[in-house]
Amino acid sequence: MKKNLFFALCFIILSAISCDAKSSIIFDKIEYDFGKIRKDSTVKHTFNFENKGKSTLIIERIKAGWGCTGTLLSDKEIPAGGSGKIEIELHADSREGEMLKTIYVYTNDPDHKMITITIKAVVTGD
């Protein structure tokens, strides 16, 4: 009986420890406004993030909405306590006016499986 109780307690303790050992992505910000940009130009911004969790953060994929944004990821796997960055490139076309684009970041963080990053700009002819 004592042996079964011992194994049950070990199982409970190990389960609690493994539940705590997860990745946790934290961005410094998830929105950026380029302000006014010239048509047919390209602008870039870097979004920084940290893994505040206790296990490796995996960036499973990044999906940019529309065809005018490009992304560059610093590293796909970020160790616990590590940091990374995603560089976003916005290509303004020849149309003038407001642009609003979204980028979706998919991770193994159980609390943030998908993060939405938003970028915007006003395209001018000047």
DSSP H/E element including 119:
strand 114-124
Query: In this predicted model, what pLDDT tens digit does every residue of 63-102 receive, in sequence order?
Result: 987 656 778 888 899 999 999 999 999 988 788 999 999 9
- pLDDT recorded at residue 72: 80
**Which of these CATH numbers, 2.40.10.120, 2.60.120.200, 3.40.50.2000, 2.60.40.10, describes 2-124?**
2.60.40.10
Mean pLDDT of 51-68: 88
- What confidence tier does 5 reach under pLDDT thresholds 50, 70, 90? low
Radius of gyration of the chain measured on its C-alpha atoms = 21
Taking the CA of residue 78 as centre, how many other CA atoms within 13 Å lie in the half-sphere pointing to its CB? Answer: 27
Q: For residue range 92-124, what is the model confidence (pLDDT) as tens digits?
A: 878 899 999 999 999 999 999 999 999 999 999
Taking residues 6-35, report their average pLDDT.
Answer: 74
pLDDT at 78: 94
Where do the structural domains in the chain lie, given as residue ranges? 2-124
